[in-house]
Structure 1
């Protein structure tokens, strides 16, 4: 299934044109690889990483939806792997700084 269709059917975009605009920004990834084409094929088991407001959403595709249905139907097709975590780079910097303060550095 095309990534733009999937975003609409999973209710992450209201229309295919809005989904294509999100994909075109170049911030989405499939299995760690940047998505550069609007017709990128997505299958079951793929992990999608996408910006969602000030955070990042990571989902695993459990099944491919046949239509854009109600939210409960869409949510049954994926599993959230990282529930709205802050941007990963900022989190990593904070942790390394905190480890140095607490004296948890390797000797």
Structure 2
């Protein structure tokens, strides 16, 4: 592919390492988590070309990137980072401590204890 050609959105997201698999990239598109110039792209086959500004929501983070080139393969991370530029740092969408009225536990701490459960119930007003 030359620099001016377009590429399927799901393939580009996979090549640029925004998703681990192409099927996850398709689900990301179909879920409305990818926007180009403010318009939601819900079809994975939507073509993207160099110069397009994409907004991708990955969990609690929104990343805004500008497509620099179509991908030729899913290579190592340094190669994938040449496919886009990120003009601004990722934007956090939600407060990491509170989400949906429940306290979030830091990853890797295992199951909540009885004391944690009681504190959560007290916080929710269910005691």
Per the normalisation by structure 1, the TM-score is: 0.76
After TM superposition, what 4+ stretches of structure 1 lie above 2 angstroms from structure 2? none
| Local SS of the residue matching 1:11 | coil
RMSD: 1.7
By percentage of residues, which structure has more helix?
A: 1
Q: Displacement, 1:83? A: 1.1
Q: Decide which structure has the larger Cα Rg and report it.
A: 2
Q: CA deviation at 1:58?
A: 0.2
Equivalent residues in 2 for 1:16-95, closer than 5 Å: 16-87=22-93
Unpaired segments of 5 or more residues in structure 1?
A: 91-107
Q: How many residues align?
A: 89
Q: What is the CA-CA distance between 1:59 and the residue it aligns to?
A: 0.2
Q: C-alpha separation between the residues in 2 aligned to 1:6 and 1:47?
A: 13
TM-score normalized by the length of structure 2: 0.65
Q: Which runs of 5+ in 2 are unaligned?
A: 1-6, 96-127
